Chain A
């Protein structure tokens, strides 16, 4: 250990303005979610019913799991457009395996593994030949979906096993299984991002890849792991989705990557990388879910719901830009 002593003078002071800005950055979207919930509780009939609340959580669970992986990817300054297609392929493969007599648990693991491998390939191409993540995952979005169609001939595969359905449509203590899975994923991702070297390296790479490299961080290996995690979570979502739909469907999950990206951005994660939190992402997911649910309860026309959702996303990005300017 080194011992150095240099005279130090008084530290600078954090102003009240900095402090309040910081609080807004941390709580900004949470305040918006809270307001949204209060408004919906008042104007939307049955919004506060426990069955409705569980419904909101259940419906957002798939997007939430995808968005958790997407958060890590976007934190490195990347993007993963392939999660919707990965979800479809993983679901189809796990259902086909289960139907062919493979034990349920193994076929579920296989579905998740398919996602992991698809993600690892994305990561390798992004990290080593340094192809743009957008192009790499645009390609895999297309070929993974294509594979799902090829192995099913384009038709849904109906699930034979009753046990398999538990993961998507079952309940524990009256709460749907996907909600538990979502909660576990978020707890693990929180710990990974905050308390592991991998997690801190993700932030370092997103902030400044060259500086991270010069600090001795293994940038390539970290990036491959990042995309693998996104793929793995997409694979898990695919299995959950299959359980919920009682079938593996090759056309499921189209445009899910966009919902996931929207949630991440709403959650305050910067698109340039290096800044954001997993807690923000779950808030982003819930904002969209509550908004959609509330509008449905209020009988807002489905087409108008799309318009509102889109505008909310644009405003969120605008907020992100204003924040990064400070």
Chain B
């Protein structure tokens, strides 16, 4: 850790010295700027609410603070010294701990081991682990946060809330001075949340600085001292929580220019589609996990946006329609006919296409050419004596590449070599080739640069004009507002609101999505 004189004087000029300050942090992933010149300061004994929409850059900023990612630019000053974390262990050893949204415990080890893993354990004379010592220490830490869990028990036997206690205890075992909590209450009951807040109060008094990421306004105003709002990877503002209110915060989070984005021309297809038969209709759909009693209709040529926060059940709803998870209740109708969809093959036969959320893990066939990625789903149409006719396949592939404007060296190029936007066009092309009636899009432009985004929006628009029924999940409100005819908002597995594109605003959607309005 080297520190120049200039930096030193700059640091000392700050009055109450923050324990952590990040300055001008910039980060990009495969050409997409996720953070641009972001500043944040943390003081001892405060709860700092980090706010922003999905994709605003909160998690990336925190991952940089915790050493998971290295910034492309900017500096991290911790306890008055500039630091460079090489990995998460670096940051953790210096007192920065993260409690992740997803629990990151080892389920088959005991609570005690999980808590003390990562600390240097006292060993017996033979260099072996002293189990009594582990359990004793773990018990002390647990009781300091008012938990009476048995450190000998297996983590796999715990509820989610109890596992979170273990995570907190682990952070404490490292004598953390900064604790980052990413949506800690997402899976807790009200009672457990109260308990968590008591623990947070205790930590505050001990002088721990806490970064608190949450979408729940009531929590934010209950426990935080200060807030920082990020939007599109940039810092919007920062200040004491007493100087703001929920409405103001939501405005800060969403206030964005719409002009650079594609806006669908809705002059022809007004809401006068109602006398047509819906292409897709859901009646009282529930799955076994999160989706509860969802009913909706989508008409030919209509684009319906599905808004909501991460974890609201949007992806699960779409997966149910595509036969990827079981219905526990409800019925799906395609063009008025009741249908059973048990697997993707059934869905595809019914003319349902699905562009999944994660392009790399679910959408692309890696190591195969652009051509095969586009044409695989319609191979049955290009066979003679059961053999594939590549001459025809090549011609069709070229046509799709040209029509969708896929930028590729050739149709034989490995699909992994394309940019995100072009990969997404390939995934969409794959489905167009089967001539679908319903197109389900899950975050169709995530990780795609602005130019390709607009092109994909145009493609979606043209598909709707050709009579497809489109259901599009997006966490980007400008995208939802720009492309959809109608907007459905989901919160905790249920549809909370249906807004026409005329009445919808970013603020309205956010209020329904955060559960502020029920």
Contact = CB atoms under 8 A, between A and B. Distances in A.
Interface of A: 1-14, 191, 194-197, 200, 203-204, 207-208, 210-218, 274-275
Given A2-B432, A2-B466, A12-B409, A211 B403 contact: no
Interface stretch (B205-213, B265-273, B354-362, B502-510): B354-362
B409 A197 contact: no
Interface stretch (B71-79, B381-389, B471-479): B381-389
A200 B289 CA distance: 35
A215 B373 CA distance: 9
A275 B367 CA distance: 7
Interface string B335-356: 0000000001101100000101
Nearest to B466: A2
A36 to B, nearest CB: 28
Given A2-B435, A4-B404, A14-B409, A204 B361 contact: no
B408 A211 contact: no
A11 B408 CA distance: 5
Contacts of B366: 207-208, 211, 274
A218 B347 CA distance: 13
Given A1-B435, A195-B388, A211-B361, A12 B459 contact: no
A196 B386 CA distance: 6
B367 A203 contact: yes
B362 A211 contact: yes
Interface residues of B, number: 45
A208 B365 contact: yes
A214 B403 contact: no
A196 B389 CA distance: 9
Contacts of A14: 409-410, 413
Nearest to B387: A195
A210 B404 CA distance: 25
Contacts of A203: 365, 367-368, 372
A160 B322 CA distance: 59
B422 to A, nearest CB: 9
Contacts of B383: 197
A317 to B, nearest CB: 18
Contacts of A9: 405, 407
B365 A211 contact: yes
23 contacts: A2-B435, A4-B432, A4-B463, A5-B405, A5-B462, A8-B405, A8-B407, A11-B407, A14-B410, A200-B379, A200-B388, A208-B361, A210-B361, A210-B362, A211-B364, A214-B363, A215-B344, A215-B377, A216-B345, A216-B347, A217-B376, A218-B345, A274-B368
Contact of B459 (A6, A10, A200, A218): A6
Contacts of A6: 403-405, 455, 458-459
Report the 5 A-B pairs with minimum CB-CB distance, sorted nearest first: A8-B405, A6-B405, A216-B348, A207-B366, A195-B387
B430 interface: yes
A5 B462 CA distance: 9
B407 A12 contact: yes
Contact of B367 (A4, A218, A274): A274
B329 interface: no
B402 interface: yes
B380 interface: yes
Interface in B397-443: 402-410, 413, 430, 432, 435
Nearest to B408: A11
Contacts of A207: 365-368
Contacts of A200: 368, 372, 376, 379, 388
A187 to B, nearest CB: 13
Contacts of B413: 14
A6 to B, nearest CB: 4
B376 A204 contact: yes
Contacts of A218: 345
B399 to A, nearest CB: 9
Contacts of A2: 403, 432, 435, 463, 466
Nearest to B319: A214
A191 B407 CA distance: 30
Nearest to B384: A195
Contacts of B408: 11-12
